[in-house]
Amino acid sequence: MNSWIISLTTAYLLGSIPFGYLLVRTFKHEDIRKTGSGNIGATNVLRSGAKGLGIATLLLDLGKACGAVWIAMLIAPGNYDLAVASGVAAVVGHVFPVWLGFRGGKGVASALGVFLALTWPSALCILSVFIVVVMLTRFVSLASIIAAATLPFFAYYFVPERSPIVISGFLFLSVLIIGKHHQNIRRLLAGTESRFGSRKAGD
């Protein structure tokens, strides 16, 4: 039981580190929450004109979630349920960070980090779906939504462990990410969503 408490708490706090906010605050002396979509994730940091910081945000958000899973694996080797639960906790920490009043990012990069640590073949498939959709449509939000929707299917195919916790964890991540894109979905349906590379800033 102690391993669960330690792993989940560590994963949430690690996931809660708002790298996008910290990098923009440190290097540009700005609050990224007041720029573009107001999101602290890599896409909004990129659209703020800070390409280097955007890439750094992407890698750090991915890395913190990946690290949270690895820590759980070190604490309780062979406990795949705990590893998945810790990955979920890390993404929840990113989406609802305690340091920023529980208003964080959308969890896309962090979820990818979780899958890289848990099942890298699934991560590569999900990333491939994301890249293809972005290349075809230039909608990062649509690519994120579609990639998140495929997440449970790739995981179910590649992951041998299919306990209720594992399946529920993967489904929860998919629903959480798609749910966080509800405003983007409305704009996509209305035809007002901005494309990646356009001057208009969006989510």
Residues 33-64: pLDDT tens digits?
Answer: 888 778 898 988 988 777 899 999 999 999 99
User: What is the pTM for the complete model shown?
Assistant: 0.92
91, 64 Cβ separation under 8 angstroms: no
Domain ranges of the chain: 2-190
Percentage of the residues of the chain whose pLDDT score is greater than 90: 80
Residues 13-24: pLDDT tens digits?
Answer: 999 999 999 999
Q: How confident is the model at residue 198 (pLDDT cuts 50, 70, 90)?
A: low
Residues 112-126: pLDDT tens digits?
Answer: 999 999 999 999 999
- The per-residue pLDDT for 201 is 41
